[in-house]
Structure 1
Amino acid sequence: MLDMKQAIEVDIAYQILRQSGQPMYFRDLINKVIDIKAKPVASLSHAISEIHTQINMDSRFAHLGKGMWGLNEWTPQNTRRSSSDDSSSSSAPTTKRRERLLEEIQQDYVAATTEPGEAE
């Protein structure tokens, strides 16, 4: 069993999602991590952005859009075809999906780094 107070934040986030069994809004997830870690933070917005970055870079997590995060193990894996014709036809949708995902992650980051009450 993972000692939650000694674990790194991204592992705590993973355990929270695994135990809940459902996606969570990133702020709720990160606030739970901060509560479990029980470590004083100088700046809440800085802590949120750090943990959000860790989650974003960890392949165990899946960004589901609109600030929601789940686990990659929950999503069915796409089966890839070996035909070169199929790969060229699916390239454009994949690129658009990646661009949309990046935009959503950037929006999440901006929201996380904006202090409550600041102009957005």
Structure 2
Amino acid sequence: MKAVSEVEVAYQVLRSRGYAMYFRDLIGSVLTQTGQRASSQAHAMAEVHTQINMDSRFIHMGKGMWGLAEWTPQQMNARMAEDGEWGGSGTSTPRREKLFEEIQQEYVAAAAETGEQE
């Protein structure tokens, strides 16, 4: 019987956790569960990272965070905010707030233009 691959272990780790993990923590957990020896750990980390990157079940969320493609963004953000990931107070940042404000202004301007043309 063939042993479970590292990428399968990574999938199970994320699935059981329920939200994204920093890639080093995820890969470290995989290597611990698969019993990788310390002498080959750097090579094993690179290999697991490559496998995760090539597997369509995983999605890179930015800033070194990996999640599962089957999760919706709303589910991931809510779970991560609950557990203190990504700053602990949700995902709002000054940059996001500024972008949101610009989008709102563009929307209002576009609505005003549409209203003037009618």
Q: TM-score range by the shorter chain?
A: 0.5 to 0.7
Q: 2:22 aligns with which of 11, 22, 25?
A: 25
Which consecutive residues of structure 2, in runs of 5 or more, have no partner in the other structure?
A: 74-118
**Alignment identity in percent?**
60
C-alpha contact (below 8 Å) 2:21/2:67 kept by paired residues = yes
| Residue-pair matches, total | 72
Mark the structure with the bigger radius of gyration: 2
Cα distance in 1 for partners of 2:19, 2:64 equals: 14
- Where 2:67 maps in the other structure, the secondary structure is strand
C-alpha contact (below 8 Å) 2:36/2:44 kept by paired residues = no
| CA deviations over 1:38-64 (Å, ceiling 9, x no partner) | 132533221111000000000000000
Name the structure 2 match of 1:13: 10
C-alpha contact (below 8 Å) 1:41/1:47 kept by paired residues = no
More helix as a share of residues: 2
Name the structure 1 match of 2:58: 61
Query: Structure 1 length as normaliser, TM-score?
Result: 0.56
Distance apart, 1:6 and its partner CA = 2.0
C-alpha contact (below 8 Å) 1:26/1:68 kept by paired residues = yes
CA RMSD of aligned residues (A): 1.6
Name the structure 2 match of 1:48: 45
User: After the TM superposition, which parts of structure 1 deviate over 4 Å for at least 4 consecutive aligned residues?
Assistant: none
Cα distance in 1 for partners of 2:45, 2:5 equals: 14
C-alpha contact (below 8 Å) 1:10/1:54 kept by paired residues = yes
